[in-house]
Chain A
Amino acid sequence: ILNVEQSPQSLHVQEGDSTNFTCSFPSSNFYALHWYRWETAKSPEALFVMTLNGDEKKKGRISATLNTKEGYSYLYIKGSQPEDSATYLCAFRYNTNAGKSTFGDGTTLTVKP
């Protein structure tokens, strides 16, 4: 069984705070790691696809890092805004079956104005 763990399960921050959360995944047979944002009543939206150890990706105030050797990825949000409130999901793909994604249970972020 492939375990993808996300922490914390939920997070409440004030507007303007910077925050980060973690996705842990198996360190062997790595193929790719995806981050998604899922706002209530909307479809999950792709944020990043990360494939190389040491990858760092950035989109606006959101960035992510990847460590495949130890099996973790961090997602950072700088200066959180209320519109950042959503569930952030990571999904792991392993190299023996690269079409299949295994998702974590997500981190639900609430940003208070």
Chain B
Amino acid sequence: GAGVSQTPSNKVTEKGKYVELRCDPISGHTALYWYRQSLGQGPEFLIYFQGTGAADDSGLPNDRFFAVRPEGSVSTLKIQRTERGDSAVYLCASSSTGTGDYEQYFGPGTRLTVT
């Protein structure tokens, strides 16, 4: 079946602008995760959804970052007043459950560049 998809694949925006990044998880996966990866580092946890609700948003760096998953499937990561430090690859992953012996399936990422 289809894997995790993310759009856009690349996004260039000017400092101060608003951006939305979309993630389509694998159908039927209840858990969805957002990570941010900077060059030379591992993925950094941002937020994790179980169904429609954010089970853990402790990784969101500040109140400019917000994510939703209104119907328990597609999720959107929203960044307000972008800063150059927000430039990174944003990865989305999904799993059939958020606990237990699960595997996370990752999308290809969205590369965000803030100029």
Binding site for B on A (CB under 8 A): 4, 6, 32, 34, 36, 42-46, 49, 51, 89, 91, 97-106
Contacts and interface: CB of A to CB of B under 8 A. Distances in A.
A99 B44 contact: no
B31 A103 contact: no
Interface string B37-52: 0001111110010100
A104 B44 CA distance: 9
Given A43-B109, A89-B43, A100-B48, A49 B56 contact: no
Given A99-B56, A101-B104, 12 more contacts: A4-B42, A42-B108, A43-B108, A43-B109, A44-B43, A44-B93, A97-B56, A99-B31, A99-B50, A100-B48, A103-B42, A103-B43
Contacts of A104: 42
B4 A43 contact: yes
Interface in B24-66: 31, 33, 35, 40-45, 48, 50, 55-56, 58-59
Given A43-B108, A43-B109, A105-B40, A98 B98 contact: yes
Q: Which 3 A-B pairs have the closest CB atoms?
A: A103-B42, A99-B98, A46-B103
Contacts of B56: 97, 99-100
Give the dominant DSSP class at A's interface: loop
B6 to A, nearest CB: 9
Contacts, number: 63
Contact of B42 (A32, A46, A49, A106): A106
Contact of B104 (A4, A46, A106): A46
B81 to A, nearest CB: 26
A69 to B, nearest CB: 20
Nearest to A44: B106
A42 B106 CA distance: 9
B60 to A, nearest CB: 12
A100 B44 CA distance: 10
B106 A43 contact: yes
B42 A105 contact: yes
A46 B107 CA distance: 12
Contacts of A44: 43, 91, 93, 106
